[in-house]
Structure 1
């Protein structure tokens, strides 16, 4: 069975991606900061998987080096890791950049940039890396500077890694707006029911996994429309 690691798998895009991969027979190692929510999600993943499908949960924060080391160690018990989906992110505060507390920005960068690279460095056997990005990485939205800067850094990290490692497929994957808890955090009190559910994005992500187009930055909307270049 192929082996994948999905971070931030207890909710949102990470959860529905894990459900889809489990249904396709993948063995998975998943994490999330909320242990109870992660346990509930893992029960779903196991019920969706076929006989023999293994799903191992490692609750914790990807911003912690010891947690990343545990993720990599547990994954290796299942075999060589084929896929890493760096989905876990933190929104952080949303003040204007002139007022952004630098210690909070350091925390956002630790989770959204350093953690994905740290996991990649620990997984020498991985074939495909999907770094979940955002349109905030390329568009200048007021009050999104901290999060957007972290995703722009992740995009560039992905591009450089792809040049340095021709043996890897490295994708910066922009899912677009989704109806998720983190999106709701960005718009407190607003009705976000018009945003698409994360399930609608999964077929685009699965195209990257199954077709393995050249490394690069891909938008879900383009992949869903059949565009890969």
Structure 2
């Protein structure tokens, strides 16, 4: 029986690297991201299903859930960075913080809620991509880190409430992605870990299926 994965933020970075690794392993993939052209190109290359859209849109979440009547793996990888350059909390715009919470916390929970029946049917797994900013006090990263801390606690409680599922909240460490480049500059980001290496480690996690919990790949 073929395994099925749903990956958000799949058009570049870690989402793309993970989709590529899973496709090579024979998984069926449903991929989503906001950039339709890039997503459809990736899906065509991998033989995957592309459903472009914004994960903060409830109608889009429902479309994704209908596409996976049975689901082995949900990866909540799509994430926003927030205001750049990264401002201190003393001047962080409250409306921008609300939008960041919507993207990084509320949207992943909404997609989990919508796909839980499909995940329960296969005793599947959920990977929520988080950050060391969820636990560390890094200047400028307060708003982003707060959203990731919230996502970690949601994951922690979900693991207790859904013992038949595997729920991992994964800190991948710094990766050479556009998001990191937007935060720290392209030169510094270029020295970070290749997302393909992180994706390979994540797949090993999925294959071995350890107990639910926080996983740091740093």
Same fold? TM cut 0.5: yes
Q: Which residues in structure 2 correspond to 1:87-126 (within 5 Å)?
A: 87-93=77-83, 94-123=86-115, 124-126=117-119
**Number of residue pairs matched by the alignment:** 210
Q: Which residues in structure 2 correspond to 1:11-160 (within 5 Å)?
A: 11-46=12-47, 55-76=48-69, 80-93=70-83, 94-123=86-115, 124-126=117-119, 127-160=124-157
Aligned partners of 1:107, 1:100: CA distance in 2, in Å?
Answer: 12
Aligned partners of 2:56, 2:76: CA distance in 1, in Å?
Answer: 12
Q: Which residues in structure 2 correspond to 1:207-222 (within 5 Å)?
A: 207-221=204-218
Summarize deviations over 1:139-189 as a string: whole Å, max 9, x none: 110010111000000011100110111111100011000000000010236
| Contact 2:7/2:19 (8 A) holds in 1 | yes
| Contact 1:19/1:44 (8 A) holds in 2 | no
- Post-superposition offset of 1:194: 1.1
Q: Which has the higher contact order (CA 8 A, sep 6+)?
A: 2
Runs of 4+ in 1 over 2 A off after TM superposition: 188-192
| Contact 2:18/2:200 (8 A) holds in 1 | no
| Contact 1:3/1:83 (8 A) holds in 2 | yes
| Contact 1:7/1:32 (8 A) holds in 2 | yes
* Structure 2 gap segments, 5+ residues each: none
In the alignment, which of 181, 201, 205 is matched to residue 204 of structure 1? 201
* Structure 1 gap segments, 5+ residues each: 47-54, 222-229
| Contact 2:170/2:217 (8 A) holds in 1 | yes
Aligned partners of 1:71, 1:196: CA distance in 2, in Å?
Answer: 30
Give the helix-richer structure, 1 or 2. Answer: 2
SS of match in other structure, 1:125:
helix
- Post-superposition offset of 1:208: 1.9
